C-alpha cells in the first residue's frame, strides 16, 4: 500500500508542503484514503475542488496510473507544481485540469463520457452546490464506484440528511478528521449499495 506519510515526505523534501496544503487534508483523512484506494484500485478519478492540489496530489500518489480529472474555477499555481513534481518522480497517470465550476464542467461531453471509480465532492460547500454536484456525479460513476463528500457536517448543512437519495440507504460517515471543527466528517457513498 502506498502511504500518506510518504506523500507528505515527498512534498516536504521539495518544499511543496505548505501550511495551506496541510490544512486541506490532514493525517486522518490521508491515511483513510490510502486504505480506501488500496481496496478500490481506482482507474478513473474525478475531483471537484482542487485548491492548492493537496488532495489531487494525494490521489496521484495513491493511484499512480489513474486518469484524474480535477475541476476548479479559481486555479492556483501550487497545484500544478505538485502534479509536475509527481510526474517528474515517475508517476505516469494523466491529470486533466478543468478550470471551470463543476456546473460548467458537467456540460463537457469529455467529462460526461467517462465512468469514475472514485469522486471527491469538495467544491463550493453550499448545500445547493453539494446537491447539484451529487446529482451530476451519480450519473457518471462506475457501478461499484465510491463518492466522498467533504465537510458533511458543516457548510453543506448535514447534506446527507437532506438529499432524498439518502433517505433509505445511509452513506457511510467516516471520522477521518480528529477535530470536528476542522471540516467535520467525510461521507462515503458506495454506489454498489444504492437501490
Ligand atoms: C476546500 S477547497 C478544496 C481542497 C482540496 N480538495 C484539497 O483537499 O486539497 C475547495 C475548492 O473548491 C473550489 N470551488 C468553489 N466553487 C466550486 C465549484 N462550483 N466547482 C468546483 N470547485 C469549486 C474553491 O475555489 C476551492 O479551491
The tens place of each residue's pLDDT in the chain, 195 residues long, gives 888 889 989 998 999 986 655 545 666 677 888 999 999 999 999 999 999 998 999 999 999 999 999 999 999 999 999 999 999 999 999 999 999 999 999 999 999 999 999 999 999 888 888 889 999 999 999 999 999 988 666 555 567 777 788 777 777 766 555 555 555 567 888 898 765
Give the chain's length: 195
Structural domain span for residue 87:
4-193
Which pLDDT score, from 0 to 100, does residue 166 have?
Answer: 79
CATH code for the domain in which residue 146 is found: 3.40.50.150
C-alpha cell of residue 127: 448545500
Alpha carbon distance 121, 132 (integer Å) = 10
Q: How many domains does the chain have?
A: 1
Top mutation candidate among 124, 129, 177 for ligand 1, by most atoms within 8 Å of CB: 124
Which pLDDT score, from 0 to 100, does residue 28 have?
Answer: 65
Which pLDDT score, from 0 to 100, does residue 167 have?
Answer: 74
Which pLDDT score, from 0 to 100, does residue 164 have?
Answer: 80
Which pLDDT score, from 0 to 100, does residue 174 have?
Answer: 66
Which pLDDT score, from 0 to 100, does residue 19 have?
Answer: 62
DSSP string over 152-163: TTTTT-SHHHH-
Centroid of ligand 1 to alpha carbon of 50 (angstroms): 5
> Which residues form the pocket of ligand 1, taking CB atoms under 6 Å from any ligand atom?
24-25, 48-51, 54-55, 71-74, 101-102, 122-124, 129
**DSSP-assigned letter for residue 184:** -
Angle at the Cα of 159 from the Cα atoms of 156 and 163, rounded to 5 degrees = 140
Amino acid at each position: 500500500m502506498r502511504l500518506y506519510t510518504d506523500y507528505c515526505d515527498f512534498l516536504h523534501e521539495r518544499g511543496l508542503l505548505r501550511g495551506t496544503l496541510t490544512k486541506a487534508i490532514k493525517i486522518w483523512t490521508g491515511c483513510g484514503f490510502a486504505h480506501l484506494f488500496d481496496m478500490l484500485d481506482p482507474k478513473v478519478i474525478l475531483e471537484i475542488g482542487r485548491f492548492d492540489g493537496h488532495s489531487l496530489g494525494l490521489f496521484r500518489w495513491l493511484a499512480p496510473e489513474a486518469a484524474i480529472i480535477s475541476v476548479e474555477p479559481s486555479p492556483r499555481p501550487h497545484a500544478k507544481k505538485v502534479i509536475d513534481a509527481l510526474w517528474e518522480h515517475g508517476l505516469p497517470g494523466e491529470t486533466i485540469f478543468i478550470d471551470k465550476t463543476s456546473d460548467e464542467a458537467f456540460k463537457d461531453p469529455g467529462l460526461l463520457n467517462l465512468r469514475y471509480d472514485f469522486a471527491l465532492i469538495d467544491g463550493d460547500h453550499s448545500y445547493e452546490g453539494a446537491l447539484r454536484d451529487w446529482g451530476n456525479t451519480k450519473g457518471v460513476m462506475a457501478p461499484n464506484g465510491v463518492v466522498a463528500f467533504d465537510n458533511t457536517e458543516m457548510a453543506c448543512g448535514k447534506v446527507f440528511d437532506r438529499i432524498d437519495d439518502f433517505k433509505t440507504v445511509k452513506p457511510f460517515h467516516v471520522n477521518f478528521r480528529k477535530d470536528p471543527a476542522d471540516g467535520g466528517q467525510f461521507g462515503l457513498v458506495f454506489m454498489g449499495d444504492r437501490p
